Amino acid sequence: MESLNGPTDGSQMSPPVQQPPTWIPPERPQRPGPAPGIEYAGPWIRTGAYLLDGLLFVILTM
């Protein structure tokens, strides 16, 4: 568990723990940015894949 926190000293991690909250807000705006794009692109990519699969299936079966 100590390796996840970084420094091996668990007792000294209490002060650094206060810093991550300040770094979390800048990370949050970045995560929602790509997330909505992926969510909106997902259905389009899936529909496109189904259409391409259908065309390939029809062409191969002809």
Q: What's the 3-state SS for 37-60?
A: HHHHHHHHHHHHHHHHHHHHHHHH
pTM summary value: 0.32
Evaluated on CA atoms 33, 34, 37, 39, the torsion sign reads negative
pLDDT of residue 62: 85
**Structure confidence by residue, pLDDT tens digits, 4-60:** 555 565 555 555 555 555 555 555 555 555 555 555 556 777 788 889 999 999 999
Q: Each residue of 9-18: pLDDT tens digit?
A: 555 555 555 5
Q: For residue 3, what pLDDT is reported?
A: 53
